[in-house]
């Protein structure tokens, strides 16, 4: 699945940042960039895109006015230096709100969300080929690794990094456990400790204040114990 992308921003440097991010993700294809929302609006009259990365403060036609004028909205991600327009942006059905300067991990979280929404929509269409839900992580300075959610066993905190253990490999990613856990579907993954998030359906043994996955024992934190055991036992019935 490849999604067509348009960037609308009156700052050339900001366009270049988003353009560079887009080019690092195989599932995205940059179609057009605009420094003027009026020209972007004209382009959309005869062309379709899947995602628009949209600045707010622009001359002639502002980003929010442009967004409000769209009769059929693709996924719109606001990219702005101003935090105060978030509520209005979501009222106008923006899918996400990124505050400049935009870190690549935060950009990637937004893209992952869109990709999974597109996959869910495709799976609801009986004529579409189903694809397993997945997530992209940056495993080095340039490489983005696709990981299928049903292969993830455990995510372990390593301070500013995490170790993602799957059924076939391990990946070290520069991201916090909290932010990565927020990207995962709550019905499939569970934080059991300040150092661990686990795939609920991969739990093999529950004993006392610990669980076992793939032959490895993990401690359940005191603050998570009751809720974690109830959730694990309920979901594995």
- Asked whether the CA dihedral 23, 27, 31, 35 is positive or negative, the reply is negative
Mean pLDDT of 115-136: 71
Give the pLDDT confidence score for residue 130 in this predicted structure. Answer: 55
User: What is 148-235's CATH number?
Assistant: 2.40.50.1020
**CA atoms of 147 and 172, how far apart (whole Å):** 12
Percent of the chain whose pLDDT exceeds 70: 95
Contact 153, 204 (CB under 8 A): no
No. of helices (H) and no. of strands (E), the chain: 7, 15
Is the domain covering 3-122 a CATH 3.40.630.10 domain? no
pLDDT score recorded for residue 143: 81
pLDDT of residue 231: 86
User: 73: which 2 tokens?
Assistant: 């909205």
Between β-strands 96-99 and 75-80, what pairing exists: parallel, antiparallel or unpaired?
parallel
Q: Give the mean pLDDT of the chain.
A: 90
pLDDT tens digit sequence for 20-71: 999 999 899 999 999 999 999 999 999 999 999 999 999 899 999 999 998 8
Q: How confident is the model at residue 117 (pLDDT cuts 50, 70, 90)?
A: confident
Residue, of 142 and 102, whose pLDDT is higher: 102
Beta-carbon contacts of 235 under 8 Å, excluding residues fewer than 6 positions away, are 200, 201
User: Each residue of 182-233: pLDDT tens digit?
Assistant: 889 888 999 999 999 999 999 999 999 999 999 999 999 999 998 888 888 8
**Is residue 56 within 8 Å of 48, Cβ to Cβ?**
no
Check if 3-122 and 148-235 are the same fold.
Answer: no
Its pTM stands at 0.65
Contact 9, 35 (CB under 8 A): yes
Site of tokens 């080095």: 140
Distance CA 26, CA 93 (A): 26
Burial (0-12, 13-18, 19+ Cβ within 10 Å), 196 = buried
CA distance linking residue 14 with residue 110, whole number of Å: 17
Alpha-carbon distance 39 to 105, whole Å?
A: 30
For the chain, the structural domain boundaries read 3-122, 148-235
């Amino acid at each position: 699945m490849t999604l067509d992308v348009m960037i609308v921003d009156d700052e050339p440097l900001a366009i270049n940042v988003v353009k560079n991010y887009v080019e690092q993700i195989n599932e995205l294809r940059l179609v057009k960039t605009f420094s003027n929302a009026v020209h972007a609006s004209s382009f959309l009259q005869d062309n379709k895109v899947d995602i628009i990365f949209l600045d707010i403060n622009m001359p002639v036609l502002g980003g929010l006015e442009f967004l409000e004028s769209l009769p059929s909205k693709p996924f719109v991600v606001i990219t702005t230096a101003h935090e105060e327009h978030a509520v209005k942006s979501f009222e106008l059905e923006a899918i996400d709100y990124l505050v400049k300067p935009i870190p690549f991990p935060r950009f990637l979280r937004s893209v992952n969300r869109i990709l999974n929404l597109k996959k869910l929509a495709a799976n609801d269409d009986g004529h579409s080929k189903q694809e397993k839900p997945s997530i992209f992580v940056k495993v080095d300075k340039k490489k983005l690794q696709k990981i299928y959610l049903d292969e993830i066993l455990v995510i372990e905190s390593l301070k500013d990094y995490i170790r993602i253990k799957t059924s076939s490999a391990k990946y070290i990613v520069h991201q916090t456990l909290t932010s990565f856990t927020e990207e995962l579907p709550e019905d499939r993954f569970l934080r059991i400790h300040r150092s661990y998030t686990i795939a609920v359906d991969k739990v093999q043994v529950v004993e006392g204040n610990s669980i076992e996955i793939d032959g490895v024992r993990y401690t359940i934190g005191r603050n998570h114990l009751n809720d974690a055991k109830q959730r694990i036992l309920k979901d594995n019935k």
